[in-house]
Structure 1
Amino acid sequence: MKKLLDVQNLHVSFDTHAGEVKAVRGVNFHLDKGETLAIVGESGSGKSVTTKALMRLIPNPPGRIKEGKMLFEGRDLVKISEKEMEKLRGKDISMIFQDPMTSLNPTMTVGKQVMEPLIKHQKMNKEAARKRAVELLALVGLPNPEARIKQYPHQFSGGQRQRVVIAIALACNPKILIADEPTTALDVTIQAQILELMKELQKKIETSIIFITHDLGVVANVADRVAVMYGGQIVETGTVDEIFYDPRHPYTWGLLSSMPSLDTDEETELQAIPGTPPDLLNPPKGDAFALRSNYALKIDLEQEPPVYQVSPTHFVKSWLLHPDAPAFEPPVNVQQNLRPMPNNFDKPALFEEVR
């Protein structure tokens, strides 16, 4: 597969009165042409900051991209000028934000808002842009688009507004579509419709998608690959099957243990991850997840783990993958068909369990 986007060692910080918040710390990932990459993690893990950095929407001050590369078709988005970025933003890279009501201008008709990127980036005249806007609203499943194009955002339901936002994002057939928790504000029935719509549209326009979510149930339905994010870092990356059936990081185990399934009955207790996310004003010295993990080793409190390769597509940032680490069985309620980790009980002192 051809790499469309390649993010290398990305660091994003925010300067506050209390000090420097290191929101994103050395993130690496890539996006192939035509694939969907899901970035998952709890609130505050750095998911949205990472994708806003890709769009160069980090307000400066207080935010700044401290270090790293974001290579889009070979061009480093960190180094190009704002004028060059404006030509890419909305045309080649588009974004769907969480709340459709705050994404839309309440003083403009929906039609004008869909037409705007067509006039700016595609250089269409108003008549051609209006015709294309009607086609886009029909494409995203809005009934009677000819009439609705004249209406304002408050005249649409939440699900319909999200469809309008998707139509705006897709107006210029972007090469990358970033969806930042696009179904969070919607009820489950509308969520399913929007997710199905995005899958259909991806096939039609062959765009690549970065899908931001904290809902692993959503991930299983839409993603090809998954990046699990914690404490401003990506701790595990793999295909959907690898993340769901062979997870190796304790944080991924925690996320899966806290997710209900069709087999969950009223007597089954879902497992919560203890503690709170790390303070990124003063990031932990070793593994950011160590203080919340039941599988922490002494070395986790002293040294940051490297990234270990499990398969050609599966990478894990955890000392548990070190040859000298003890063997831990993942929680029983994660998945019943997980492969066991290799046994190795002759371990140096650094690889003794903390608890």
Structure 2
Amino acid sequence: MEKILQIKDLNISFHTFAGEVKAIRGVSFDLFKGETLAIVGESGSGKSVTTKSIMRLLPEHNSEIKGGQVLFDGKDLTKLSDKQMQKIRGKDISMIFQDPMTSLNPTMKIGNQIMEPLIKHQNMSKGAARERAVELLRLVGIPKPEIRVDQYPHQFSGGMRQRVVIAIALACNPKVLIADEPTTALDVTIQAQILELMKDLQKKIDTSIIFITHDLGVVANVADRVAVMYGGKIVEVGTADEIFYNPKHPYTWGLISSMPDMETNDEELYSIPGTPPDLLDPPKGDAFAPRNPYVMKIDLEQEPPFFKVSDTHYAATWLLHPDAPKVEPPEAVKRRQSQFPGVKVGK
């Protein structure tokens, strides 16, 4: 498969009054043409910072890309000037933000906000851009787009506003679409419609999607591959089936055990003990060690490398080392494994 985007050993820090926050610590992943890659992890794990660095939307006054590359179309985006990035943002790489109300300008008609990237990046006339705006509103499922194009954001519901944000992001048929928790502010029925819409549109315009979420239920619906983030690092990566039915990292076990499914009885849902690491002073070994019920001495001393589980599945945990003791995953994980033929239970 063709790689459309490559992140290589990315390190990002924020300079604060308290000191240097090492928010991203050596993140690497690839995005392939036409696929949906979900980045999962709890708040503060570094999901949004990673993707905002691709768009170069980090605050200039206190953020610093300390190392690594973001390769797109043969260019390293971390080295481009603001002017060069303006030609890529919205045209080749677009972003759907979490809250549609703050993403839209309340003083501008919806149509004008969709027309803006078309006029800037595709040199369309106002008339042609307006026609395309109506077409895009129809594409994202907004009824009576000829009338709605002249309305303001406050005249739309939350779900409709999110559809408008998607229409703006898709206006120039981007090669990469970054969706930063695009359904968090919506209720479950609207959420399902938006996810369905994104899957449909991806097939129509053959775009690659990076989908950021902390909701594993959403991941099951949209992702081809999943990267699990913790403490500013990727700790496990694999196909959606591998991560859901054969996870290997104790953090992924915790995430999956904390998610109810149709088989869950009245047992209490698992919650991962403790809190995420302080990235002002990152831990020496495995960042997850203080919260890991399977912690070993080496976890506190050395950072684990990635161990290969299959050609598409890798996890950074010492439990996969040949000398590590055999550990049984939690019951919730074993239950999922039994539902999926072809995966091995245990180590």
For 1:225, the equivalent position in structure 2 comes to 225
User: Could you tell which deviates more after superposition, 320-329 or 226-235?
Assistant: 320-329
1:339 Cα offset (Å)? 1.7
For 2:303, the equivalent position in structure 1 comes to 304
Q: Which amino acid in the other structure matches residue 293 of structure 2?
A: N
Cα deviation 1:225-262 (Å, max 9, x = unaligned): 00000000000000011001110000000000000011
Q: Please tell me whether residue 160 in structure 1 is matched to residue 153 in structure 2.
A: no
| Residues 58-137 of structure 1 aligned to structure 2 (within 5 Å) | 58-137=58-137
For 1:262, the equivalent position in structure 2 comes to 262
Aligned counterparts of 2:37 and 2:162: Cα–Cα separation in 1: 20
Aligned residues: 341
Aligned counterparts of 1:103 and 1:296: Cα–Cα separation in 2: 42
1:60 Cα offset (Å)? 1.4
For 1:185, the equivalent position in structure 2 comes to 185
Structure 2: runs of 5+ lacking an equivalent: none
Aligned counterparts of 2:215 and 2:131: Cα–Cα separation in 1: 37
| Contact 1:114-1:168 within 8 A present in 2 as well | yes
Cα deviation 1:309-353 (Å, max 9, x = unaligned): 1111101111111111111110011242252344xxxxxxxxxxx
For 1:340, the equivalent position in structure 2 comes to 345
Cα deviation 1:72-92 (Å, max 9, x = unaligned): 122111112221111000000
Cα deviation 1:15-60 (Å, max 9, x = unaligned): 0000000111000100000000000000000000000000000111
For 1:320, the equivalent position in structure 2 comes to 319
For 1:140, the equivalent position in structure 2 comes to 140
Aligned counterparts of 1:16 and 1:183: Cα–Cα separation in 2: 31
For 1:350, the equivalent position in structure 2 comes to none
SS of equivalent to 2:107: coil
Aligned counterparts of 2:332 and 2:212: Cα–Cα separation in 1: 25
Aligned counterparts of 1:335 and 1:232: Cα–Cα separation in 2: 28
Q: Which amino acid in the other structure matches residue 103 of structure 2?
A: S
| Residues 195-234 of structure 1 aligned to structure 2 (within 5 Å) | 195-234=195-234
Cα deviation 1:178-237 (Å, max 9, x = unaligned): 000000000000000000000000000000000000000000110000000000000000
SS of equivalent to 1:10: strand
| Contact 1:27-1:233 within 8 A present in 2 as well | yes
Aligned counterparts of 2:19 and 2:177: Cα–Cα separation in 1: 33
Aligned counterparts of 2:263 and 2:138: Cα–Cα separation in 1: 38
For 2:39, the equivalent position in structure 1 comes to 39
SS of equivalent to 1:334: helix
Q: Which amino acid in the other structure matches residue 294 of structure 2?
A: Y
User: Could you tell which deviates more after superposition, 131-140 or 80-89?
Assistant: 80-89
User: Could you tell which deviates more after superposition, 179-188 or 57-66?
Assistant: 57-66
| Residues 163-174 of structure 1 aligned to structure 2 (within 5 Å) | 163-174=163-174
Aligned counterparts of 2:199 and 2:284: Cα–Cα separation in 1: 41
For 2:282, the equivalent position in structure 1 comes to 283
| Residues 21-32 of structure 1 aligned to structure 2 (within 5 Å) | 21-32=21-32
Aligned counterparts of 1:242 and 1:72: Cα–Cα separation in 2: 27
Q: Which amino acid in the other structure matches residue 304 of structure 1?
A: E
TM-score of the aligned structures, taking structure 2 as reference length: 0.97
SS of equivalent to 1:333: helix
| Contact 2:334-2:345 within 8 A present in 1 as well | no
Structure 1: runs of 5+ lacking an equivalent: 343-355
| Contact 1:244-1:335 within 8 A present in 2 as well | no
Q: Please tell me whether residue 3 in structure 1 is matched to residue 3 in structure 2.
A: yes
| Contact 2:6-2:70 within 8 A present in 1 as well | yes
TM-score of the aligned structures, taking structure 1 as reference length: 0.95
Quote the RMSD (CA, aligned, Å): 0.8
For 1:349, the equivalent position in structure 2 comes to none
Q: Which amino acid in the other structure matches residue 209 of structure 2?
A: I
Aligned counterparts of 1:197 and 1:67: Cα–Cα separation in 2: 36
Q: Which amino acid in the other structure matches residue 96 of structure 2?
A: I
Aligned counterparts of 2:57 and 2:264: Cα–Cα separation in 1: 41
Aligned counterparts of 1:100 and 1:240: Cα–Cα separation in 2: 27
| Contact 1:253-1:330 within 8 A present in 2 as well | yes
| Residues 235-250 of structure 1 aligned to structure 2 (within 5 Å) | 235-250=235-250
